[in-house]
Amino acid sequence: MPNDIERGAASDPVEPPRGPSVTSDTAGLDRIDLALFRKVMGSFPTGVTVITTQAGGAPRGMTANAFMSGSLDPPLCVVCVAKRAHMHGYLLQTGRF
């Protein structure tokens, strides 16, 4: 069965304005408990998660199964989003999830 991208459902991607990169905002990183971050990321072996953002005055979200820890210093997580997905445009627009 074809997925949404193969059917063309995401063929009308959002053309976001140029803004900050998703990883450029470090505000609040000093409040992250690194031991807890490591424990939480280590307890997510695989599966599906939901990522969300606020764009255009509305909450936006998607399920993702490509989610993992990127770094402990600084604390980063990685999520993979197809460039043709609507969520890709929303994330570029908001710069955070």
Give pTM, 2 decimals. Answer: 0.60
d(CA 75, CA 32): 8
Say what the pLDDT of residue 43 is: 87
For the cut 50, the answer to whether the pLDDT of residue 97 exceeds it is yes
Q: Which of 13, 2, 4, 7 is nearest to 92 (CA)?
A: 13
* 42-89 tens-digit pLDDT: 888 777 899 999 999 999 999 998 888 899 989 999 999 999 999 999
Q: Is the dihedral of CA 28, 29, 31, 33 positive or negative?
A: positive
What pLDDT was estimated at residue 15? 52
Domain boundaries in the chain? 4-21+32-94
The predicted-structure confidence for 2-52, as pLDDT tens digits, reads as follows 444 444 444 445 554 444 444 445 565 568 899 999 998 888 877 789 999
At 28 the pLDDT is: 56
Phi and psi, residue 17, nearest 5°: -70, 155
